[in-house]
Amino acid sequence: MNTIYILWLRQLKRYFRSKSRIIGSLGQPLLFLVALGFGLGPVFQKAGGGNYIEFLVPGVISMGIIFTALFSGIEIIWDRQFGFLKETLVAPTSRLEIMIGRTLGGATVASLQGIIILVLSFLVGFRLENLIILPFALFFIFLIALLFTALGTAIASVLQDMQGFQLIMNFLVMPLFFLSGALFPLEGLPPFLEIIARADPLSYGVDGLRGILANNSHFGLGLDFLILSMITVVILLIGSYLFSKIEI
């Protein structure tokens, strides 16, 4: 447990020391909130969709989480190239504890990113009807962060160079985000797009957050939680296995 805490704390220190990283990672979500929220808001409302800001905010929060969570895996490759990972792996502790500590740290950082975006969304007109729902929203934020941090760890465990990791992440992130219903309703989609959306794990995270924050869930909160939890457990198991096989 001490190893898990130390690695978790190390991830947080890295995050708070890099102020440019915090500010830079907020640029794209804020652009989406302002440009899309105010640009497409009137169109969305005329089409009978309601307040687009309320619809958009859960998707933008998820975008900030997934970017931060997936790219946290690059730190494994960075540490491997500079020898820090070797020092960690030869320590008298299990690789499972190391993986859990790094994953929890990355998930906490990604969750903080999502919380910051949620706070900033109030500046563009987003409102919570009831503060009692806030803990449930924070739980979903952490669940999304945990899933995609574990996925980033799993991918980084089998790669040797940062360029390859970035290519794979760019190939994954945008399709996962755009096909999750973060920017558009999932109702009335063509059958092939609906199948893809249902296969996208981020769809259930976005839908769960939207159900909690905006009372607008497509799949239902129970199904969102169940599927997201199951996928998270599977990815954690895969990530743990792949991390245990890292050669130093």
Question: What average pLDDT is seen over the chain?
Answer: 83
Put simply, whether the predicted model's pTM sits higher than 0.95 gets the answer: no
Which of 83-92, 108-117, 144-153 is the least confident region? 83-92
pLDDT in tens, 126-164: 888 777 888 899 999 999 999 999 998 888 888 777 777
* Ranges assigned E (strand) in 77-207: none
pLDDT in tens, 166-225: 777 778 888 899 999 888 888 888 888 889 999 999 999 999 999 999 888 889 999 999
Phi, psi for residue 220 in degrees, rounded to 5:
105, 135
pLDDT bracket for residue 248 (50, 70, 90): low
Do 106 and 153 contact (CB within 8 A), yes or no?
yes
Which of 184, 153, 206 is CA-nearest to residue 40?
184
Per-residue pLDDT at 92 exceeds 70? no
Residue 246, pLDDT score: 74
Q: Token match 């800001």: residue?
A: 53
AA letter at 182: A
Domains in the chain: boundaries = 2-244
Per-residue pLDDT at 12 exceeds 90? no
